[in-house]
Structure 1
Amino acid sequence: MDFTFNEDQLLFQESVREFLGNEITPERLRAAWDTDTGRDPALWTQLAELGLAGLTVPEEHGGLGMNALDFVLLAQECGYVALAEPLVNHALAGVPLLQDLGGALAEAWLPKAATGEARIIAALEQNLLVEDAHVADLLLLERAGQWYALTQGEFSLQHNASVDPSRRLFTVTVNDAVQPVASGDQARRLRLATLNRGALGCAAQALGLAQRMVDMSVLYTSDRQQFGKPIGSFQAVKHHLANVAVRLEYAKAPVHRAAYAVAEDAAGAGQAVSQAKLMACEAAGLAAKNSIQVHGAMGYTWEVDLHIFMKKAWALANTWGDAGFHKQQVAGHIFADDAVLGAGATFQ
C-alpha cells in the first residue's frame, strides 16, 4: 500500500510554493490591512490564472476536477505564507458544497467559480462570525438548520474586529424575503460534510504556519548573537525548536489521512478530521509559543513579522470547531461501546 503523494501532486505543490513565496510577502500582507476590504483583487486574479480557483470544480464546468487530497498540500502552502485571500474556503469548502447542492444553482455558479470570476464562501452556524462575507460573490450560509445561497444585497453585514489583522469577520443577517435552498436531513448532511472540509483546511494551513514560524525562528537564532555565538547554538534554544519540529512531523500524517478520508467520503472521516485539526493546531500553537520565546522581547513587537503567522494560527484553532468540540468528536469515537481500536483496525 502506497501512502505517498504522487509526482504530479508534489510538482503542483512545488510550483504553488514558488509562486506564493515570490508574491505573498509580509509587506504585501501588511499593505492590504490598510485597504477597505483587506483583500487584493490582483492577487485573486493571479491565483485564478494558476487554476487554483477551479481546482476542485468538475471538468465539465471548466475546472480541474480534483479533490481534497489534491488540494491539501496546496492548503499547507497557503498557510506557510499566511494567505489572506479566501482560496482555501472557496476550493475546499465552498465549491464542494455548491456541487452537493447541485441543480440550477450549481450549473450557474460552478463555471464562474472555475475561472475565479466568483468567490464561493461557505459558513456554518457554529462559526458565529463569517470570514470574507464582504467579498463573497455567493455566500452559502447555514442558519437555523437550513442553508441559504446568498448574493450581495440579500444579506447585511456588521464588521467585527479580529486578533488577526488579515481576517475580515462579519455578523451576517439574512434578508427576510430570501428562501433556503436546503433543509431537514439534506441540510444536516451538508453541514457535516462542510464541517469536515472546513476543518481540514484549517488543519492543513496550521501545518504551513507552524513550519513558517520554525523557519523564521531558525533564521533569527542563526543571526542573533550572544556571548559571541549565535543563540541558536545554545541547547535550550535548540530544544524549543526541536520540540515544535517533532510535534509538526507527527501532525502531518493525520492531516493527510483526513484529506484522503474526506476525498473518498470514507466512514469515520469526521473522527479523522477532528484528530488532524487537533494535532495540527496544537503544533501551530506550540510553534507560536516557542517562537516568541526564542525571539525574546522582539517576538512581541508589531514590527517583527512573526505575529502575522502566530495570530493566524490562534484564529484557525477556534475556526470550524474549537479544540473542545473536536476532542469531543474523537472521544465519542474511541469511547463508543462498539469501538474497534488497535493496530489491527488501522486500515479497515
Structure 2
Amino acid sequence: MDFTFSEDQLLFQESVRDFLINEVTPATIRAAWQTESGRSDALWQQFVEMGLTGITVPEAFGGLGMNELDFVLLAQEAGYVALAEPLVHSALVAVPVIANCGNAEFAAQWLPKIAAGEAKAVVGLEINGLVEDAHIADVLILEKDGAVYALESNAVELRHNESIDLGRKLFAVEFNTDAALKLADGQQARDLIEFALNRGALAAAAQALGVSQRMIDLSVQYTSDRKQFGVAIGSFQAVKHHMANIAYKLEYAKTPVYRAAYALANGLKTASHNVSHAKVVACEVADFAAKNSIQVHGAMGYTWEVDLHIFMKRAWALNNNYGTAGFHKQRVAEFVFSDNAQLGAGNTFAA
C-alpha cells in the first residue's frame, strides 16, 4: 500500500506555502487587526486567481472538483501562517455542505459564485455558539432548533463578540426562521449537521498542525539568536528537549489527520471517529507547542511585540472549535468500547 500524497498534491502544497509565507506575514496580520473587517479583499482576489476558492466546488459548478484529501495539506499551510480569511472554512465546510444539502437549486445558485470569488458562505453550528466571519458572508447556513436554514446576509442580525485571537471575527447571529430557506430538518438535518461538524473539526485539526510547526520554527529561531553565558540558549539540553518533545508529537499527529481526510473524502463509515481522533491529537500538540514555546521564550513569550502570541492564541482558539477535547474523546470512546468495534492494524489497513 502507498500511503503517501501524490506528486501533484505535494507540488500544490509547496506553491501555496510559498505564496502564503510571502503574503501573510505577522506584519500584515497585525495591520488587518486595525481594519474594520479584519479581512483583505486583495488577498481573497489572489486566492480566486490561484483557483483556491473553487478547489472543492464540483466541476459542474465551475470548480476543480477536488476533495478533503486534496485540501488538507493546504489547510495545514493556512494554519502555519494563521490565515484569517475563511478559505479553509469555505473549502472544507461551506462548499461541501452546500453541495450535499439536498437542494439542487440552492447549490446551483451559490456554488458558481463561490468558485468565481463573487460570494462567500459560512456555516454556523450550535456546537460553536458563535459564527466566525458572519460579517463578510453573502450567504449563511445556520443550525437552529434541530433544523438547518440558509439566509442571505441582509436577513440576519449580527452582534460582535471579542475573541482571544484577534484574527478571528466572531458573531452571535439572530434570524427569523420564517424568512429563511429551510434546507433540512429531522434526521436529514442531523446528518447534515454531523457532515458539517466532521469537516469543521478536520479543518481545525489540519490548521493546528500548521500552527504547531510555526511555533516550533519561531522558537528555534529565537533560541538560536538569544544568548546566555556567551552561547545560544538553543544549545542547552533542556531547551532542545522542549522542542524535540513537540516535534515528535507533531509527527505522530499528522497521520490521524490525513487518515480523517481520507475517510471523509471516501465516505467511510469510520469517518466520525477518525475525525475526532485527529482533532484530539492535533489540538493537544498545538496546546503543548504553545506551552513549551512560551517556556523557551521566557517572559518575552507573553508580550505583544513577539510574534509567538499570534500563533499560540490561534492554537487555543482551534482547541474548542467544532467540539471540545471532551466531546471528541467521547466520540472515540463510543466507538472503541462498542460491541462491534473493529480494532487493530488489520482492520485499519484493510480499508
Partner in structure 2 of residue 342 of structure 1? 344
1:15 is the counterpart of 2:15: yes
TM-score where L is the length of structure 1: 0.99
Partner in structure 2 of residue 272 of structure 1? 274
1:212 is the counterpart of 2:214: yes
Partner in structure 1 of residue 302 of structure 2? 300
Q: Does structure 2 conserve the Cα–Cα contact (< 8 Å) formed by 1:232 and 1:238? A: yes
Q: Does structure 1 conserve the Cα–Cα contact (< 8 Å) formed by 2:149 and 2:177? A: no
Partner in structure 2 of residue 193 of structure 1? 195
Take 1:16 and 1:344, find their aligned partners in 2: how far apart are those partners? 36
The alignment yields a C-alpha RMSD, in angstroms, of 0.8
- For residues 90-117 of structure 1, give each alpha carbon's deviation from its aligned partner in whole angstroms, at most 9, with x where no partner exists: 1100000000123111001110010111
2:54 counterpart SS class: coil
Take 1:58 and 1:38, find their aligned partners in 2: how far apart are those partners? 29
Partner in structure 1 of residue 122 of structure 2? 121
Take 1:265 and 1:342, find their aligned partners in 2: how far apart are those partners? 20
Take 2:41 and 2:225, find their aligned partners in 1: how far apart are those partners? 36
Task: Give the letter for the 1:229 counterpart.
Answer: V
Task: Find 1:330's aligned residue among 323, 332, 340.
Answer: 332
Runs of 4+ in 1 over 2 A off after TM superposition: none
1:341 counterpart SS class: coil
Task: Give the letter for the 1:212 counterpart.
Answer: R
Task: Give the letter for the 1:165 counterpart.
Answer: L
The runs of 5 or more residues in structure 2 that have no matched partner are none
Task: Give the letter for the 2:317 counterpart.
Answer: A
Take 1:258 and 1:220, find their aligned partners in 2: how far apart are those partners? 34
Q: Which deviates the most, 33-42 or 89-98?
A: 33-42
Q: Does structure 2 conserve the Cα–Cα contact (< 8 Å) formed by 1:156 and 1:175? A: no
- For residues 109-157 of structure 1, give each alpha carbon's deviation from its aligned partner in whole angstroms, at most 9, with x where no partner exists: 1100101111111121111011001111111111111111111111101
Q: Does structure 1 conserve the Cα–Cα contact (< 8 Å) formed by 2:218 and 2:308? A: yes
Partner in structure 2 of residue 145 of structure 1? 146
Take 1:327 and 1:201, find their aligned partners in 2: how far apart are those partners? 17
Percent identity over the alignment is 64
Take 1:69 and 1:108, find their aligned partners in 2: how far apart are those partners? 26
1:320 is the counterpart of 2:346: no
Partner in structure 1 of residue 92 of structure 2? 92
Task: Find 1:237's aligned residue among 236, 239, 252.
Answer: 239
1:196 counterpart SS class: helix
Partner in structure 2 of residue 182 of structure 1? 184
Quote the offset at 1:219 in angstroms.
0.5
Take 1:293 and 1:97, find their aligned partners in 2: how far apart are those partners? 41
Quote the offset at 1:343 in angstroms.
2.4
Take 1:330 and 1:3, find their aligned partners in 2: how far apart are those partners? 23
Quote the offset at 1:175 in angstroms.
2.4
TM-score where L is the length of structure 2: 0.98
Take 1:208 and 1:342, find their aligned partners in 2: how far apart are those partners? 28
Q: How many residues align?
A: 348
Quote the offset at 1:176 in angstroms.
4.5
Q: Does structure 2 conserve the Cα–Cα contact (< 8 Å) formed by 1:119 and 1:137? A: yes
Quote the offset at 1:187 in angstroms.
0.7
Task: Give the letter for the 1:304 counterpart.
Answer: V
Take 1:256 and 1:272, find their aligned partners in 2: how far apart are those partners? 10
Take 2:52 and 2:234, find their aligned partners in 1: how far apart are those partners? 38
Q: Which deviates the most, 86-95 or 337-346?
A: 337-346
Take 2:259 and 2:319, find their aligned partners in 1: how far apart are those partners? 19
1:261 counterpart SS class: helix
Quote the offset at 1:237 in angstroms.
0.1
Take 1:25 and 1:60, find their aligned partners in 2: how far apart are those partners? 35
Partner in structure 1 of residue 155 of structure 2? 154
- For residues 64-99 of structure 1, give each alpha carbon's deviation from its aligned partner in whole angstroms, at most 9, with x where no partner exists: 000000000000000000000001111100000000
Take 2:303 and 2:23, find their aligned partners in 1: how far apart are those partners? 24
Take 1:10 and 1:193, find their aligned partners in 2: how far apart are those partners? 27
Take 1:187 and 1:250, find their aligned partners in 2: how far apart are those partners? 34
Partner in structure 1 of residue 164 of structure 2? 163
Partner in structure 1 of residue 257 of structure 2? 255
2:158 counterpart SS class: strand
Take 2:118 and 2:337, find their aligned partners in 1: how far apart are those partners? 46
Take 1:141 and 1:83, find their aligned partners in 2: how far apart are those partners? 23
Task: Find 1:203's aligned residue among 202, 205, 209.
Answer: 205
1:66 is the counterpart of 2:66: yes
Task: Give the letter for the 2:234 counterpart.
Answer: G
The runs of 5 or more residues in structure 1 that have no matched partner are none
Take 2:308 and 2:64, find their aligned partners in 1: how far apart are those partners? 35
